[in-house]
Amino acid sequence: MESNLVKGMIGFVVLMIVGFVIVGTTRETQQEKVQGAFLQTSGMLNSLALDKCSEAVRQEVADHPYTPSESNSDGMTYVTLVWNNVGSAKRAECRYILDQGITLLKIDERTLIEQTAPVTTAPAAPKPAHH
C-alpha cells in the first residue's frame, strides 16, 4: 500500500516538474505579441465604429441599421461602413477614424458630415528660439 502511495507521489511530482518546464520554455514571440495587439486594436476600432456610426445613421433615418452591407478598414486607424436600404434611405455611409470620431456621414446623396483634413488634438509645436 505504501509503495503505491510513494509511486503516486513520485508520479505527481514528475508531472508537475514536466508541466513547469513546458510552461517555462514556451514564451510568446514578439510577432505573436504584435499580432495580438493588432487584433485587439482592430476589434476595438470596429466595435467603436459600429456603435458610433449605427447611432448616427439611426438618428438620421429613424431606423436602426444592423449588419453593414460593406465595410472597409486598415485595422488600425479607420473604418468605413455602408448600409443599403435602411429605413427611408437607400444607402448610408459612415467613416469613423480613431481619435477623431465620425469624419464622414452620407445618407443617400446628402453629405451630413465631411472632414477632409485630419483633426489634430495635439497643440502646435513651439517654434525654436533664435539667440
Residue 1 lies in a domain: no
User: Is pLDDT of 64 > 60?
Assistant: yes
In this structure, which amino acid lies at residue 105? L
Residue 101 lies in a domain: yes
Q: What does the pLDDT average to over 71-95?
A: 94
User: Is pLDDT of 70 > 90?
Assistant: yes
Cell 459612415 belongs to 94
| Nearest alpha carbon to residue 84 among 103, 65, 102, 58 | 65
Q: Give the domain extent around 98.
A: 36-118
Residue 85 lies in a domain: yes
Mean pLDDT in the chain?
86
Residue 43 lies in a domain: yes
Domains held by the chain: number: 1
Using CB atoms within 10 A of its CB, is residue 116 exposed (0-12), middle (13-18) or buried (19+)? exposed
Residue 29 lies in a domain: no
User: Can you give the pTM of this predicted structure?
Assistant: 0.66
Per-residue pLDDT of 41-56, as tens digits, reads 899 999 999 999 999 9
Per-residue pLDDT of 22-43, as tens digits, reads 887 888 888 888 888 888 989 9
pLDDT reported for residue 23? 81
pLDDT reported for residue 83? 96
User: Is pLDDT of 66 > 80?
Assistant: yes
User: Is pLDDT of 78 > 60?
Assistant: yes
Residue 56 lies in a domain: yes
What order do you get walking across the sheet with 110-114 strand by strand?
70-73, 78-86, 89-97, 101-107, 110-114
Residue 23 lies in a domain: no
Residue 28 lies in a domain: no
